[in-house]
C-alpha cells in the first residue's frame, strides 16, 4: 500500500524541482518513460533544467528542441534519440567511464538534485527493487536531494544491491507498462564463424564479460562444450539464458561471488526480464563495483569480449564514434579491457 502523501500530484512538481536543477533519469530498459511523459506535461513552469543520464531505451521526447527554454539534456552515453540531438546541437554529450560516474554524483562534481527512476512494488518490509538497471541509478538515488519514482508493476524484482526503501522516495507515480525490449539479433554465417573463433579462445573455468549484439550471442552458441564458466559483466541479454539452463555457465569456479552471475543491468526481451525476476542466482550491483578494473582483475581467466566500430591500419580501436560523429560512448569497455588484461590468465578480446 502506497501512502497517499507519496502519490505524485501536479502540485508536487514545483515542491520537488527548482529552476536550474539537475535531474537524473533512470537507465537502459528501466527508463521511467511514463513518468517522463507526465513530467513533460508540467515542464513549462520550469527553466534552465539539466537532464543527465546514460543509455535509455525507447523514445527520448525530452530532447525535442521545443523544450530547450525549459531543459537541456547532457547524455553520458548516447542512444538513438540523444545521438541525433547531440549532432544537431540540441543536447550535450559528456564522455565518462561507466565505473567513474557514481563517484561524480557522490563527490558533487556532477551533483544530482532530483532522480527520476523506475522501481517495482515494495515487499512486506517496504523495499522496492531497481529492477533491470542498478548501474549508476543506485548512486544517483543515494546522492539526490529528492527521488521521484515510477512504480511499475511489471518491473522485475532483481537481487543483489538493487533495493531502495519507500521511506527514501519523495513521490511515486504508479503505472503498469511493459519494459522496452530489444529482440535477439539475426546471426549470419560470418557472425557465427567469428563467434566460433572467439569461443575457441575461452578456457574452461573462465569468467565472461560480454555485451549485447550479434557477436556475443554467436559466442554463447558455441560454448555448449565448455565447463564451469562464470559471468561478471556490466550487462547481459537473452543469449545467456540457454547457457545458464544447461549448466555451461554455473559460476562454480569464479574467484569472486562463486555461484552467482553478477551484472549491473540487463537488456533484452520479456523472456529475459521474467528470467531475472526474483532469480537468486543473479545479483545486480552498481557500476562502480562491477566495472571497477581492480575488481574485474581479481577474477582468474577473465575474458572480456567487446566490439569495435572501426580499427585503423595501426591497430587503433574506436568504439564510440564514426568519423567525427559521436555514436555511443565510452561506457564500460575500457574498464573491462583493463581488468581482463590484469587478470591472471585473462584475455581482453576486441571484435570487429
Catalytic residues: 234
Question: If DSSP states are collapsed to H, E and C, what string results for the chain?
Answer: CCCHHHECCHHHHHHHCCCCCEEEECCECCCCHHHHHHHHCCHHHCCCEEEEECCECCCCHHHCHHHCCCEEEEECCCCHHHHHHHHHCCEEECCCEHHHHHHHHHCCCCCCCEEEEEECCCCCCCEEECCCECCCHHHHHHHCCEEEEEEECCCCCCEECCEEEHHHCCEEEEECCCCCCCCCCCCCHHHHHHHHHHHCCCCCCCEEEECCCHHHHHHHHCCCCCCCEEEECCEECCHHHHHHHCCCECCCCCCCCCCCEEECEECCCHHHHHHHCCCCCEEECCHHHHCCHHHHHCCCCEEEEEECCEECCCCCEECCEECCEECCCCECHHHHHHHHHHCCCCEEEEEC
Collapse the DSSP code of 10 into the 3-class scheme (helix H, G, I; strand E, B; otherwise coil) and give the result. helix
- How far apart are the C-alpha atoms of 227 and 230, rounded to whole Å? 9
Work out the angle at residue 273's Cα, subtended by the Cα atoms of residues 93 and 284, and round it to the nearest 5 degrees. 65
Burial readout 249-269 (b: 16 or more C-beta within 10 A, e: otherwise): bbbebbbebeebbbbbbbbbb
Amino acid at each position: 500500500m502506497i501512502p497517499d502523501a507519496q502519490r505524485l500530484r501536479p502540485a508536487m512538481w514545483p515542491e520537488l524541482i527548482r529552476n536550474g536543477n539537475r535531474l537524473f533519469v533512470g537507465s537502459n530498459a528501466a527508463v521511467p518513460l511514463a513518468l517522463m511523459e507526465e513530467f513533460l506535461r508540467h515542464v513549462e513552469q520550469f527553466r534552465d533544467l539539466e537532464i543527465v543520464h546514460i543509455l535509455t531505451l525507447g523514445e527520448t521526447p525530452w530532447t525535442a528542441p521545443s523544450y530547450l527554454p525549459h531543459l537541456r539534456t547532457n547524455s553520458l552515453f548516447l542512444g538513438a534519440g540523444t545521438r541525433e540531438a547531440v549532432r544537431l546541437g540540441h543536447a550535450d554529450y559528456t564522455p565518462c567511464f561507466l565505473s567513474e560516474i557514481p563517484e561524480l554524483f557522490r563527490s558533487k562534481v556532477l551533483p544530482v538534485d532530483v532522480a527520476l527512476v523506475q522501481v517495482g512494488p515494495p515487499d512486506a518490509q517496504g523495499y522496492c527493487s531497481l529492477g533491470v538497471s542498478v548501474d549508476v541509478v543506485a548512486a544517483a538515488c543515494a546522492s539526490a536531494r529528492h527521488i521521484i519514482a515510477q512504480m511499475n508493476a511489471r518491473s522485475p524484482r532483481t537481487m543483489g544491491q538493487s533495493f531502495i526503501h519507500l521511506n527514501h522516495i519523495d513521490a511515486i507515480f504508479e503505472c503498469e507498462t511493459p519494459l522496452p525490449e530489444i529482440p535477439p539479433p539475426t546471426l549470419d554465417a560470418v557472425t557465427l564463424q567469428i563467434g566460433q573463433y572467439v569461443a575457441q579462445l575461452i578456457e574452461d573455468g573462465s569468467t565472461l564479460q560480454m555485451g549485447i549484439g550479434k557477436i556475443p550471442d554467436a559466442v554463447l552458441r558455441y560454448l555448449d562444450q565448455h565447463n564451469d564458466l562464470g559471468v561478471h559483466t556490466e550487462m547481459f541479454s537473452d543469449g545467456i539464458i540457454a547457457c545458464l539452463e544447461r549448466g555451461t555457465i554455473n559460476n562454480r569456479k569464479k574467484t569472486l561471488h562463486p555461484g552467482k552471475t553478477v551484472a549491473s543491468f540487463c537488456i533484452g526481451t520479456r523472456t529475459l526480464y521474467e528470467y531475472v525476476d526474483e532469480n537468486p542466482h543473479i545479483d545486480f550491483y552498481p557500476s562502480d563495483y562491477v566495472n571497477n578494473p581492480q575488481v574485474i582483475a581479481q577474477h582468474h581467466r577473465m575474458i572480456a569480449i567487446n566490439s569495435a566500430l572501426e580499427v585503423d591500419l595501426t591497430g587503433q580501436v574506436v568504439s564510440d564514434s564514426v568519423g567525427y560523429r559521436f555514436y555511443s560512448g565510452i561506457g564500460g569497455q575500457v574498464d573491462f579491457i583493463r581488468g581482463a588484461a590484469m587478470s591472471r590468465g585473462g584475455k581482453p578480446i576486441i571484435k570487429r
